[in-house]
């Protein structure tokens, strides 16, 4: 399993399955992460599912969805390695389960074609009224990030680790940029998406693969741009200055203690599986060491977990801790990490982590959205990572693999948001 860096053209993956009575059709548009475009792309993702020239009002659009037996359309944005992704997804009842002969899948493709290639645009400008509404909604969402101290603290950790790189921003964009988006500038963003983005289509349901491929070719004129992914790098210059520690104060009920770790491997590399086993044991599950030691035994944290961005090679420990004891909590987290580096974990912990990982991967097969994300991750690989291959590699991880992984992992940044001293007075 190796990373495929430069040779991925327009992508189509169809997964025929009888598990679901619906068919899910998902389109993804990927462009390099850029702080100047992510806000506009987020607004574009909402405008495309809002109205089209054929269905120019909310009422028209919703009526058409109801005529398609309650079809559901939604969009979201995300980060994928060094790419910004617009995802448009349609879930529609599978026509095999209808009593009539309505060609629902074909009508679904027609709907998506209308949304993407015939949006509500006039004189190369998006509808101003709808854009004003979507800008207001996005502002509220981004403002809520500042009010949510856990999200704010994570954002600050990213900013301190990655500086001005777009990776340090949330995928939804920046509050300061919302007002800069106009109906005309949004049209430019839209044209760039159509002509410059890497495109992918995923279809999951009880479908005929050859028929789906024919319809995708017929309805979608997607660009053939290749996906050229690099790796996000933090701005830390020399390891002898690590970890970098930042403490900020605010009006908070509990301290937010976040740690950023640099991993020695990434998704697609052989020791990726040691990475996810280590993360699961360390803080990725309620059975993990951090949850049990920091939260349950020592009562230092209200919440604590670790999560990985395996595509870029980073792990983050995010916690809400007692303000007066954040130093003790930090020392405990670092101590438990050092114990892993020394091999101080049991075979039972190792076996449980593997069991949980394989179980979670299996459960993902029961959700079309999760299946599609797994299929999309495979764009970075030479060969698809099936559940069977995944399980085999996870089971093959040894104690020595985990120890070596931990020993080559280091803490880059520790960020704490805690109470002001006068708040305790």
Strand 198-205 and strand 314-321: the pairing is unpaired
Domain 239-424 fold: Cytochrome Bc1 Complex; Chain A, domain 1 (3.30.830)
**Looking at the domain covering 11-219, what would its CATH class be?**
alpha beta
Please check the confidence at residue 37 and state whether its pLDDT lies above 60. yes
Please check the confidence at residue 4 and state whether its pLDDT lies above 80. no
Instruction: Render the burial of 15-27: b for 16+ CB within 10 Å, e for the rest.
Output: beeeebebbbbbb
What pLDDT, in 10s, does the model give residues 376-406? 999 999 899 999 999 999 999 999 999 999 9
Instruction: Give Cα 186 to chain centroid, integer Å.
Output: 23
Q: Angle formed by the axes of helices 272-282 and 387-395, to 10°? A: 70
- The values of phi and psi at residue 44, to 5°, are -60, -40
For the chain, the structural domain boundaries read 11-219, 239-424
Please check the confidence at residue 251 and state whether its pLDDT lies above 50. yes
Helices assigned H by DSSP within 220-346: 272-282, 289-290, 326-341
Please check the confidence at residue 8 and state whether its pLDDT lies above 70. no
Distance CA 281, CA 289 (A): 6
Check residues 5 and 32 and name the one with the higher pLDDT: 32
At residue 253, the pLDDT reads 83
What pLDDT, in 10s, does the model give residues 259-310? 999 999 999 999 999 999 999 999 999 999 999 999 999 999 999 999 999 9
- Is the separation of the CB atoms in 376 and 80 below 8 Å? yes
DSSP-derived 3-state class of residue 246 = strand
At residue 145, the pLDDT reads 87
At residue 5, the pLDDT reads 44
Give residues with Cβ within 8 angstroms of 29, minimum separation 6. Answer: 85, 86, 88, 193, 197, 198, 199
What pLDDT, in 10s, does the model give residues 406-424? 999 999 999 999 987 755 5
Please check the confidence at residue 243 and state whether its pLDDT lies above 50. yes
Report, in this order, helix, strand and coil percent for the chain, each rounded to 5: 45, 25, 30
Please check the confidence at residue 9 and state whether its pLDDT lies above 90. no
Instruction: Render the burial of 85-100: b for 16+ CB within 10 Å, e for the rest.
Output: bbbbbbbbbbbeeeee
Give residues with Cβ within 8 angstroms of 284, minimum separation 6. Answer: 276, 305, 306, 307, 308, 353
Which of 5-19, 87-101, 399-413 bottoms out in mean pLDDT, i.e. has the lowest? 5-19
CA distances to 101, 177, 365, 404 from 84, rounded to whole Å, are: 39, 16, 25, 32
Instruction: Render the burial of 338-376: b for 16+ CB within 10 Å, e for the rest.
Output: eebbeeebeeebbebbbebbbeebeeeeeebbebbbbbb
- The values of phi and psi at residue 24, to 5°, are -110, 125
Domains 11-219 and 239-424 share a fold: yes
What pLDDT, in 10s, does the model give residues 142-196? 999 888 999 999 999 999 999 999 999 999 999 999 999 999 999 999 999 999 9
pLDDT band at 258 (very low <50, low <70, confident <90, very high): very high
Q: Whose structure tokens read 């479908």?
A: 207
The torsion region of residue 268 among left (phi > 0), alpha (psi -120 to 50) and beta comes to left
Mean pLDDT of 116-134: 97
At residue 236, the pLDDT reads 66
Mean pLDDT of 310-336: 95
Please check the confidence at residue 89 and state whether its pLDDT lies above 50. yes
């Amino acid at each position: 399993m190796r990373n495929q860096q430069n040779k991925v053209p327009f992508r189509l993956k169809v997964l025929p399955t009888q598990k679901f009575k619906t068919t899910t059709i998902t389109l993804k548009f990927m462009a390099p992460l850029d702080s100047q475009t992510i806000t506009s792309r987020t607004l574009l993702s909402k405008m495309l599912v809002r109205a089209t020239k054929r269905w120019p009002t909310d009422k028209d659009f919703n009526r058409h969805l109801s005529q398609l037996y309650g079809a559901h359309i939604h969009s979201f944005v995300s980060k994928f390695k060094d790419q910004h992704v617009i995802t448009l997804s349609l879930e529609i009842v599978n026509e095999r389960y209808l009593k009539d002969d309505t060609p629902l899948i074909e009508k679904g493709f027609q709907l998506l074609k209308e949304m993407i290639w015939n949006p509500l645009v006039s004189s190369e400008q998006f509808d101003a009224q709808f854009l004003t509404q979507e800008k207001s909604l996005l502002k509220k969402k981004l403002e809520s990030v500042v009010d949510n101290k856990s999200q704010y603290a994570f954002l600050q950790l990213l900013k301190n680790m990655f500086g001005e790189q777009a990776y340090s921003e949330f995928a939804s964009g920046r509050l300061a940029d919302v007002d800069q988006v106009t109906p005309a500038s949004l049209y430019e963003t839209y044209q760039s998406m159509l002509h410059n983005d890497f495109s992918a289509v995923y279809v999951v349901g009880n479908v005929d693969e050859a028929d789906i491929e024919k319809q995708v070719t017929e309805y979608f004129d997607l660009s053939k741009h290749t996906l050229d992914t690099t790796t996000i790098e933090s701005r830390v210059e020399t390891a002898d200055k690590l970890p970098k520690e930042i403490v900020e104060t605010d009006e908070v009920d509990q301290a937010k203690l976040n740690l950023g770790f640099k991993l020695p491997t990434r998704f697609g590399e052989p020791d990726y599986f040691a990475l996810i086993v280590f993360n699961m044991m360390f803080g990725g599950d309620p059975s993990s060491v951090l949850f049990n030691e920091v939260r349950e035994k020592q009562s230092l944290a209200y919440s604590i977990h670790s999560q990985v961005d395996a595509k870029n090679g980073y792990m983050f420990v995010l916690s809400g801790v007692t303000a007066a004891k954040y130093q003790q909590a930090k020392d405990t987290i670092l101590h438990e990490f050092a114990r892993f580096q020394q091999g101080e974990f049991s075979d039972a912990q190792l076996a449980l982590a593997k069991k949980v990982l394989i179980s979670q991967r299996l459960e993902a097969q029961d959700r079309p959205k999760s299946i599609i994300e797994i299929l999309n991750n495979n764009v970075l690989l030479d060969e698809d990572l099936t559940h069977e291959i995944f399980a085999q590699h996870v089971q093959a991880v040894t104690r020595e693999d985990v120890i070596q992984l931990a020993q080559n992992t280091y803490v880059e940044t520790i960020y704490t948001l805690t109470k002001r001293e006068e708040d305790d007075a």
